[in-house]
Chain A
Amino acid sequence: MSDQPRSAIVGIGRTAYTRNSGRTPLAMAVEAARAAFDDAGLPTSVLDGVTCFHTMDSAFPMDVALALGTTELEFSNAMYAGGNSVAEVVRTAAAMVDTGICKAVLVYRSLNGRSGARYGTVAGPIEVPGEMQFSAPHGYMLPPQWIAMWASRHQAVYGSTCEDLGQIAITQRGHAVPNAHAISRTPITMDDYLAGRWVNEPFRVFDCAYEVDGAVALLIVSTDLLPDVKSEPVWMLGSSNSQSGVGWVQWDDPTSMYSRSAGPKIWQRTGLKPSDIDVACMYDCFTYTVMATMEDFGFCEKGQVGEYFASGRATYGGDVVVNPHGGLLSEGYVHGLNHHYEAVLQLRGQAGVRQVPDAKLALVTAGAGPYGGANVLGKDKP
């Protein structure tokens, strides 16, 4: 990145997160987008770039732009990707502004993840082509299966336990309790966690993201527009990605994820270290994703994540507050873009009762297994 940043995140918006929105993803995307413009205090007429990521349910950038009154975009990219590309799509949006191609880029994710096409069900074709023809015939089709297989390997190699995973679920649920926007706010104990029904071992229901309907939007604009912006800008300090086509089954060591590379890269690029970070919005499609990525990003040693959470190091008063909003596990699975929303809220000091004191730096991660990335966001202009 250049010495003087040329872009900043100035607007955030979202819909309610529900079990049954009764609305289209387009309608939700537009609501979140309008909220992001209102938050920034900018007119939608500045918009010249719209991007999203999507698998399954979505709304398309040109349709969203049209609903905001924009008939022409310089940049319109619906990136075909899952949660692995949240950091990548946000960074790409910023890069379009940094390079002067766009003035104002909207990033959104909108899905009826609960009432519409759900990830956690065996739908899909009867006959399966491509790589899936070597997994789907065996019933290996769903994200909880992909990642449980990795968690089970971690347990075999490092002796991590279900209780270790439970500590993550319990801590994050505790964070969601005061969050009025979270879908799941009832505190849980270890007994509750262990009594949770099996999804597939070693995952119980509390290990899995809570699928919801909803949308989140971010607005990234040129620093030239800042005189007209009413919100406090948040800065992108660095990014890293590691997107591999090796696949879930052939990945050489499932006790580590993409983050074994993306972690060291982001610290090298930013000159920061894990102990500098105040808020860590760790992508948590499943508890094990938090476990493996906390290790890989260097917050703690292999096999120590359960103890790290149990001893309070991942919450208020500890080393770093992990998912103060409750994460995808408890706030809701808006495919990870809600992590960027929370990071911006925390860095502005607008998180209310769950505000992390004096939050200046946030790590936001995205993805699991062989593919993902991260962004570091800062309160102070670099």
Chain B
Amino acid sequence: MPETPFLPTRPPRPTHETVEFWDACAQGRLVVPRCDDCHEYIWYPRLFCPHCASQRVTYNEVRGTGTVYSFTIMRKGSGPYKEFAPYVIAYVELDEGVRLMTNIVGVSVDDVRVGMPVKVVFDDSIPRFTAA
């Protein structure tokens, strides 16, 4: 696997609702908020539950494994991505059920498939995924 970063990153600007997520990423841990009342996992991170409207939400560390739910191959990149095409942006469904918007890296773009098992890799301190 080539050295990271695999892709350029537009730095996220954390809010008080999301700083815990980004701090965990910087430590190489993937955390996902979970509702204390209905126990559903929540994505994207925010401090209310979109399933039951509870205001009680806690970050939980997850395994960082899942499958490719859908993806698109960027054959041409623009802006900071210009030199990096082709690359893949994808929805990855974690084993815990939530779907993350991410990139598939470290594999040929033509080998990416819907349903492919993947695992998290922290790249530029953001969660990207590679073949499991």
Query: Can you list 15 residue pairs at the A/B interface with Cβ under 8 Å?
Result: A127-B13, A129-B12, A135-B101, A138-B101, A138-B102, A139-B77, A139-B87, A139-B89, A140-B89, A140-B101, A200-B72, A200-B76, A203-B72, A248-B101, A250-B98
A276 an interface residue at 8 Å Cβ cutoff? no
A254 an interface residue at 8 Å Cβ cutoff? yes
- What residues of chain B lie closer than 8 Å to A130, measured between beta carbons? 15
- What residues of chain A lie closer than 8 Å to B79, measured between beta carbons? 121-123
- What residues of chain B lie closer than 8 Å to A128, measured between beta carbons? 10-13
Residues of A in contact, count (CB < 8 Å): 40
Q: A137-B10, A249-B101 are in contact. Are A122 and B78 (CB under 8 A)?
A: yes
Q: A126-B11, A249-B44, A250-B98 are in contact. Are A138 and B103 (CB under 8 A)?
A: yes
8 Å CB interface, A156-176 against B: 156
Contact across chains for A145 and B72 when beta carbons are under 8 A apart? yes
CA distance A343 to B8 in the complex (A): 45
Compute the total of residue contacts between A and B using a CB distance below 8 Å. 116
B24 an interface residue at 8 Å Cβ cutoff? no
- What residues of chain B lie closer than 8 Å to A201, measured between beta carbons? 72-73, 75
Q: Which of A147-155, A346-354, A373-381 contacts B (4 or more CB under 8 A)?
A: A147-155
Residues of B in contact, count (CB < 8 Å): 42
Q: A149-B72, A150-B70, A250-B43 are in contact. Are A138 and B13 (CB under 8 A)?
A: no
Q: Which of the residues B43, B73, B98, B115 comes within 8 Å of A200, measured between beta carbons?
A: B73
8 Å CB interface, B12-28 against A: 12-15, 18
A69 an interface residue at 8 Å Cβ cutoff? no
Contact across chains for B15 and A129 when beta carbons are under 8 A apart? yes
| Nearest B residue (CB) for A245 | B50
- What residues of chain A lie closer than 8 Å to B89, measured between beta carbons? 138-140, 145, 149, 200
- What residues of chain B lie closer than 8 Å to A131, measured between beta carbons? 44
B131 an interface residue at 8 Å Cβ cutoff? no
Contact across chains for B114 and A137 when beta carbons are under 8 A apart? no
CA distance A337 to B72 in the complex (A): 29
Which residues from chain A sit less than 8 Å from chain B, CB to CB? Answer: 121-131, 133-140, 145, 148-150, 152-153, 156, 197-203, 245-250, 254
Contact across chains for A127 and B10 when beta carbons are under 8 A apart? yes
Contact across chains for A152 and B72 when beta carbons are under 8 A apart? yes
| Nearest B residue (CB) for A203 | B72
A137-B11, A250-B43 known; 10 new pairs, CB 8 Å cut-off, are A124-B10, A127-B12, A131-B44, A133-B18, A134-B44, A134-B45, A148-B72, A149-B71, A153-B91, A200-B74
Q: How close is B55's CB to chain A, nearest CB, in angstroms?
A: 17
Name, among B73, B74, B75, the residue most crowded by chain A CB atoms within 10 Å (CB to CB): B74
Contact across chains for B76 and A198 when beta carbons are under 8 A apart? yes
CA distance A316 to B27 in the complex (A): 61
B60 an interface residue at 8 Å Cβ cutoff? no
| Nearest B residue (CB) for A202 | B72
B49 an interface residue at 8 Å Cβ cutoff? no
Binary per-residue interface labels of chain B (86-121) against chain A in the complex, 1 for a CB within 8 Å, 0 otherwise: 010111000000111111000000000011000000
What are the nearest 8 A-B pairs in CB distance? A133-B12, A122-B79, A156-B114, A153-B70, A198-B75, A148-B72, A127-B13, A201-B73
- What residues of chain A lie closer than 8 Å to B72, measured between beta carbons? 145, 148-149, 152, 200-203
- What residues of chain B lie closer than 8 Å to A202, measured between beta carbons? 72
B47 an interface residue at 8 Å Cβ cutoff? no
CA distance A139 to B126 in the complex (A): 12
Q: Which of the residues B11, B81, B114, B115 comes within 8 Å of A139, measured between beta carbons?
A: B81
CA distance A133 to B127 in the complex (A): 12
| Nearest A residue (CB) for B15 | A129
CA distance A198 to B78 in the complex (A): 13
Contact across chains for B12 and A152 when beta carbons are under 8 A apart? no
| Nearest A residue (CB) for B99 | A249
Q: A133-B12, A133-B18 are in contact. Are A139 and B70 (CB under 8 A)?
A: no
